[in-house]
Amino acid sequence: MIKKSSKVYKAFLQMEKATYSDGELKSKVKELIAVGISVVINCESCMQWHIEQAAEKGATEREIIEAIEVGIEMGGGPATAYARFALEVLETLEFRD
Per the domain annotation, does 75 fall within a domain? yes
**Residue 15 located in a structural domain:** no
Judge whether 60 lies within some domain.
Answer: yes
> Would 42 be classed as within a structural domain?
yes
What's the predicted TM-score (pTM) here?
0.87
- Kindly report the CATH number assigned to the domain that includes residue 79: 1.20.1290.10
Which of 6, 9, 20 has the alpha carbon at shortest distance from 53? 20
Question: Is residue 84 assigned to a domain?
Answer: yes
pLDDT digits (tens, 9 = 90+) for 31-72: 999 999 999 999 999 999 999 999 999 999 999 999 999 999
Query: How many domains is the chain partitioned into structurally?
Result: 1
Q: Is residue 73 part of a domain?
A: yes
Task: Give the structural domain span for 54.
Answer: 22-91
Amino acid sitting at position 74: M
What is the DSSP track for 43-72?
-HHHHHHHHHHHHHTT--HHHHHHHHHHHH
